Amino acid sequence: MKFRSDEIVSVLRGEIQNLGTSQDVREVGRVLEVGDGIARIYGLAGVMSGEMVEFTRTGVRGLAFNLEESSVSVIILGDYLRILEGDEARTTGELLRVPVGDALIGRVVDPLGNPVDGKGPIITNDTRPMESTAPGVADRQPVKQPLQTGIKAIDAMTPIGRGQRELIIGDRKTGKTAIALDTILAQKGEGVICVYVACGQMQAKVSQIVEDLRRNGALDYTIVVSSSSADPAPLQYLAPYAGTAMAEYFMYKGKDTLVVYDDLSKQAAAYRQLSLLVRRPPGREAYPGDVFYCHSRLLERSAKLAQKWVIVGNDFNGVPTATSGTDGKVYVGPLDKEHADHIAKDKGQKVVQLPDSGGSMTALPIIETLEGEVSAYIPTNVISITDGQIYLQPSLFYSGVRPAVDVGISVSRVGGNAQISAMKDKRVAGGLKLTLAQFRELEAFAQLGTELDKATQQQLDRGYRMVEILKQSQFKPLNVVDQVMIIYAGNSGGLDEVPVKQTKAWEEQFLTFMKDQKPEVRNALVKERKITDELGKKLDEAIKDFKGQFKA
């Protein structure tokens, strides 16, 4: 076989011309020891904290967790039993990212975004860093828009606003998860994207929660991030950050989101386990010194983002922020409303709100206490970070008061700002907390067997009925207008003649009566969102008319 020299020369010339000059430069290290989900690696001198590290033989990835003088400790995000001493590891130059987007809605994923529901792969091109900076003060606006939970005891006395962080705290088996799930169910039709993060829960419980969401039609707008108690500690530690990143994608698209962390006490325990394995100094209750930062940097990402406005027009000579749009018009912004109005007034131009501004992320972290000890380390940390807490009392739960919300120490630092005018009315929730507090005192006084005057006895009897009104079954969230009507009826004395045991039946029949026979009153309340004098009279008449129709 003969070779033609000119062909060989042309091939060599082409190869030389196409030779790439770029070089793939990465640091490479060796595994010194591995065990309990942690690998100690020598040789990665330039690795960053939180950077992804790849084990080349297996393809398993890890996260640089502890930077030491002569080595780096990496938490392994996969099967650490496949990693062997002496394996090669190299840096990637990337931070840990998770897939985000509409494709995740209705799915159950692990903290790395891999599907675990058996419904096939999740196809999305969008990703977000698991850790990101929280919005600054200038990028936020005050929390004023209500996020209805559908639970009377909460919406009336410890209301939650969009962008708020409200802690749900109590002993095990007191209904913490039930409140969170009812809140998710109450978002049906409200345009709120929900993310439920199961951290350290039993796999059977997570499966039941997913089934409850599916059965009630809530999985259509919910993402479930599952990290069960059987998963390694690194995944349990990362799960809340993954859920937050998935919700942030929608928040920065201008949508409202709700994230439930169930629960952060188990995440703190996983973080303690990792920290002790890499020999970080233990502090109070053996938690590392930065466990507060672990939770604060997570919860500070929840916010109600400020609305941004642009000015649309043509005459913007000399304005440095002006940019030309594809439609031939000139845009100035984004700006806050006051600034935009000021410029537009001088120029005679039009102000338009940006569609991707004004989103929110509401956080409902859950903390489990031991024997009601709210002064323990993790509970006090999270209480100080959040904007209020809903405290569940075991004694109330076991006496049949469910949800078992302790009115005395449950607070919302947003308060009436997160309520509609009808709910804030003094005839509805305005004096409800005080009424219940006085009732508890009178109840304790009456147990002494003391003779009570007629007015005190009447106040005590009404208190018993108000407690019954605030009881609510799980998976039955109420529309806020229905809540207003039933609490108004209780406060105005509409149930004074109804036996306490029949209060629940009275409530159900009354709400049906208002929908079927008095729709004009209910519709007026839906439209007005406040109780005017005229509407108050119509409500009083409706309650009076219903008394003759009530069937015990």
* Residues taking part in catalysis: 413
Tokens of 469: 């009104």
Q: Are 368 and 177 contacting, i.e. CB atoms less than 8 angstroms apart? A: no
Calculate helix-pair angle for 519-528, 503-516, nearest 10 degrees: 90
Amino acid (1-letter code) at residue 195: V
- Cα angle 190, 191, 195 (rounded to 5 degrees) comes to 105
Residues 108, 110, 113: CA angle, nearest 5 degrees? 90
Other C-beta atoms within 10 Å of 191: how many?
9
Neighbours of 338 (CB within 10 A): 8
Residues near 339 by beta carbon (within 8 Å), at least 6 away in sequence: none
Q: Residue 57: is it exposed, middle or buried by C-beta count within 10 angstroms (0-12/13-18/19+)?
A: middle
User: Beta strands 167-170 and 72-76: pairing type?
Assistant: unpaired
Taking the C-alpha atoms of residue 28 and residue 23, their distance in angstroms, rounded to an integer, is 15
Looking at this protein, which amino acid is placed at residue 21?
Answer: T
Cβ atoms within 10 A of the Cβ of 374, count? 14
Q: Which of 121, 128, 119, 111 is nearest to 226 (CA)?
A: 111
Give, rounded to a whole angstrom, the gap between the first and last alpha carbons of the chain.
106
Place of tokens 């419980």: 205
Asked if residue 158 lies in contact with residue 379, where contact means CB atoms within 8 angstroms, the answer is no
Element (H, E) at 248: helix 233-251
Distance CA 108, CA 219 (A): 10
Output the 3-class SS for 390-449.
EEECHHHHHCCCCCCECCCCCEECCHHHHCCHHHHCHHHHHCHHHHHHHHHHHHHHHCCC
| CA gap 308, 353 in Å, rounded | 6
